[in-house]
Chains A and B, each alone.
Chain A
Amino acid sequence: MTDADNDRGFLAANIMHFGRALRAAGLPIGPGHVLRAIEAIEAIGVSNRNDFYWALHAVYVNRRDQRDLFDQAFHIFWRNPKILERMMSLVLPGFRGDENMDQEEISPRLAEGLQGGRQNTETENRNEEETTFDAAMTWSREEVLHEKDFEKMTAGELAAARRAIQSMRLPLQDTPTRRFRTDPRGARVDLHATLRAALRHGGDIIPLKTRSRRKRRPPLVIMCDISGSMDRYARMLIHFMHAVTNDRDRVHTFLFGTRLTNVTRYLRQKDIDVALDSVAGAVEDWSGGTRIGKCLHNFNQDWSRRVLGQGAVVLFISDGLDRDAGDGVSREMERLHRSCRRLIWLNPLLRYDMFEPKSLGVRALLPYVDDFRPVHNLNSLTRIVSVLGETGPRTNDAMRQWRERAA
């Protein structure tokens, strides 16, 4: 083997190791990517560092949010082999690199990736300390940043709710798409099928074949309030969200208290316990205060254009009690209402017959919702499920009364 071949071998191996490090850090990279990366580097050469960077970038990165991770990994991996040495020493216990080196700040995810996913015992210990906090019908002014333990649900409550809720389906009214399927009672002529049928008869008879529009379930976006005053319901409803997420495609779930968290990916886990665990790990503001205006603003800014396409229906679950006293809520709610096909508000406080839409948050929200329903027990959930399947106007008739009372 010549030296050149040897060099090429090292480079290829390094590109592969780099790919593996990225994969361990969470980027979806397979052997196909590595092969293409090597191909790309062969095409581009290694004379220009910048080109080398962007060539690997073009292959290994395929989403905008992966860029930072890639950037950090690239610079650690290709510029400073010493840091890599240290990282490798964590992976391979027998291998010791230079210990005295500058502590560059690197993403914890990347560090974990380079460590090869070794368990960090320290965090596990911390997890064992449990904090409990129950704040039904109160709303705290402090953001409570602690990890909420779902195990605190009573066993009976959990089992009953889970059994009932897991069997629930959400039959949102299907919307017609622009695609067609053959349908003997369809209203349009399917010329392709007609001609084929005609030829089957030798062209003497031309039997008309028809088609009709395909229907499809609209995308669903759930936004659920998890502040202190909503705590009890949110714990129950998260089972509902899990059931719905796994029952249909195109469901996006967001939790909000003082900040907005997208938990769609966690809820896609089939196993409810695994799903709840990962949600608990991702959400930092469980049982804290509520900042509806700010969270809606974040949703509108960062997510609405990505998840509200193709006629999405929004389920907004909240008691409408806002720490910021409705500041900015109505402006953001109006935008949300304009970006979706239907906006349905589920409010546990509606179970009280005496409920009056007087709080500032509620009055800011009400003008922009198309339907307003209670959600506090299994019965009300079941009723929602049946109501959502019915056809009707976008805005429920009862809304007029609600709006008058809120005005």
Chain B
Amino acid sequence: MDQPQSVEETLALLAKGNYVADRSLATALYLSLSLQKPLFLEGEAGVGKTEIAKTLSATLGRKLIRLQCYEGLDIASAVYEWNYSLQMIEIRMAEAMGDRDRNLLERDIFSERFLIKRPLLQALDATTDAPPVLLIDELDRTDEPFEAYLLEMLSEFQVTIPEIGTMRAENPPLVIITSNRTREIHDALKRRCFYYWVDYPDAERELEILAVRAPGTPERLSRQIVGFVQSLRALDLFKSPGVAETIDWADSLNQLNRLELDPDGINDTLGALLKYQDDIVKIQGSEAGRILSEVNAALKTAVPTA
């Protein structure tokens, strides 16, 4: 599919990829697509940041190149590395044949033939007409030096390899950067991107997401799930459940053939929703029952109008 020409088209594109998005997100995404600037997505874990890149790559029919960040990520694993064993063999061959002079050999050894391309270089190097989607995932996990390295790459879409020279992308890739905000990313990097904070969806939106992502969930169960999760987010928990957890929970309840939420069912499957023991202890039992009865009461008043 071609690149969208308006915010509506962007929204339709995401919907086509089963991604239920706010118009605000579509706006930021459309800007990043049309002005060829990276999109910087920040938000709690499990609100669907990574999913945006995957959806884009699927619906636009572009290759997805993913760089998972971690502490100590270096150029050798993010950008390029030389194929040392091949180079060694080449030197040995040259030695055995005895027919090449030193300068020629050096130029030969450090040529593209011996270059192993890592995600960032792959993204710049795509020779096809459709530039790939480059997903730089969880940037906050790396350290500052790598962040600084990204500056050149993100503003000019080029990287410099000392032995070869500067490599520049003909068609800049579509860059999506995500961060869980375990530390602040430097302003210099954010400045080069369009920023969007991905929030938890409201109840209505979350119902739509469940309908798309966990089809086959009974209507009433979906409403109960969403009501329950939304009330959990209002509580003082160490980690509120994200959208991913909501979908997981719906899936596990489906798997157990539950047609309706009941206190026992919640206690058995709470692990799909809450990932910290303190939080589970807090909610399990009477608190879960209280929230459930609140949700049911709210449903009862809402159902006649529906």
Contact = CB atoms under 8 A, between A and B. Distances in A.
Given A43-B35, A48-B7, A195-B87, A305 B182 contact: yes
B195 A199 contact: no
Contact of A300 (B37, B140, B238): B238
Nearest to B103: A199
A298 to B, nearest CB: 10
A58 B182 contact: no
Interface stretch (B25-33, B254-262, B284-292, B298-306): B25-33
B16 interface: no
Interface in B223-261: 236, 238
Contacts of A44: 7, 27, 30-31
B28 A54 contact: yes
A307 B31 contact: no
Contacts of A215: none
B82 A195 contact: yes
Interface stretch (B127-135, B184-192, B201-209, B264-272): B184-192
B181 A306 contact: yes
A364 B21 CA distance: 47
Interface stretch (A62-70, A78-86, A117-125, A164-172): A62-70
B194 A309 contact: no
Interface residues of A, number: 44
Contact of B72 (A179, A199, A203, A305): A179
Given A62-B190, A195-B109, A43 B34 contact: yes
Interface residues of B, number: 48
Given A32-B191, A58-B195, A195 B84 contact: yes
A331 B278 contact: yes
Nearest to B90: A203
A57 B34 contact: no
B35 A62 contact: no
A201 to B, nearest CB: 9
Contact of A199 (B28, B106, B183): B106
Interface in B60-113: 71-74, 82, 84, 87-88, 91-92, 94-95, 102, 105-106, 109
A57 B28 CA distance: 9
A179 B146 CA distance: 11
A206 to B, nearest CB: 8
Given A54-B24, A61-B195, A199-B102, A191 B91 contact: no
Given A58-B195, A59-B194, A64-B181, 10 more contacts: A32-B191, A55-B31, A62-B193, A63-B190, A64-B197, A199-B102, A203-B92, A301-B238, A305-B181, A309-B182
Interface of A: 28, 32-33, 36, 39-40, 43-44, 48, 50-51, 53-55, 57-59, 61-64, 67, 177-180, 191-192, 195, 198-199, 202-204, 206, 300-301, 305-307, 309-310, 331, 335
